[in-house]
Structure 1
């Protein structure tokens, strides 16, 4: 699932990206919106995100991956690091966040039903900590 996520982001492929999710998903995204409900809202977010990249590509790396499967339900967690690369492959910037995923198996394929991203907040500055 995470490899397909990373491939869709790298390709800036909105259709491949939203195909990873159920139609009635709920996302607690740490970027801009308190929550996003439904595939149409998530598609709009992906179009905006990918459209804002210009010539940049985003490479997603995942670390500390874990999870549990119980029948047709699963949950997992990981640290995702997003690195923006220019057309020559030079890393321009990067950030990391924590993600927890709730998945459902539908017709043999795992789909994300709930996604929750977060980052710790520095108590003194009230700023998100986006590097491990």
Structure 2
């Protein structure tokens, strides 16, 4: 890992912590004001931080007392002075107040980060799962 990778990989750790804490502010702080997100759920895209914040508030608010553990694996980075790309497999595991797993799913993600006066911020994020050709259903388990 080179020194440019460290803040990019730190963004993944900060993402995990913000989701576990259900902290809208900490989560949204990872993103640039002009972020464009291609998410898997509900909307074709989220343009700008206000639209993304609204989605995050809905997601975290829908969890009630549940929490979500996020885990990134096989993260690969490509970095330059002010631009970085990280792609990884990501798993989301919902747990109850006793830590019992309620449900889980795996996705693929690619994040593009830009460095500005506020540090590294996600300027674009794309999340996906493959589609089973015979059923046209999303595959939520990494095989």
Q: TM-score range by the shorter chain?
A: over 0.9
SS in 1 for 2:112: strand
- 2-side partners of 1:17 and 1:106: how far apart? 18
Residue deviations 1:82-125, cap 9 Å, x none?
00000000000000100001100122621100000000000001
Residue deviations 1:29-86, cap 9 Å, x none?
1111110000000000000000000100000001010011111000110111000000
Find 2:83's aligned residue among 54, 73, 80: 73
The reply to whether residue 39 of structure 1 matches residue 49 of structure 2 is yes
- 1-side partners of 2:108 and 2:99: how far apart? 25
TM-score normalised to the size of structure 1?
A: 0.98
Aligned position for 1:118: 128
- Return structure 1 stretches of 4+ with deviation > 2 angstroms: none
SS in 1 for 2:60: helix
Root-mean-square deviation (CA), in Å?
0.7
Matches within 5 A, 1:5-84: 5-84=15-94
Which structure has greater strand proportion?
1
TM-score normalised to the size of structure 2?
A: 0.91
SS in 1 for 2:105: strand
Structure 2 unaligned spans of 5+: 1-10
SS in 2 for 1:44: helix
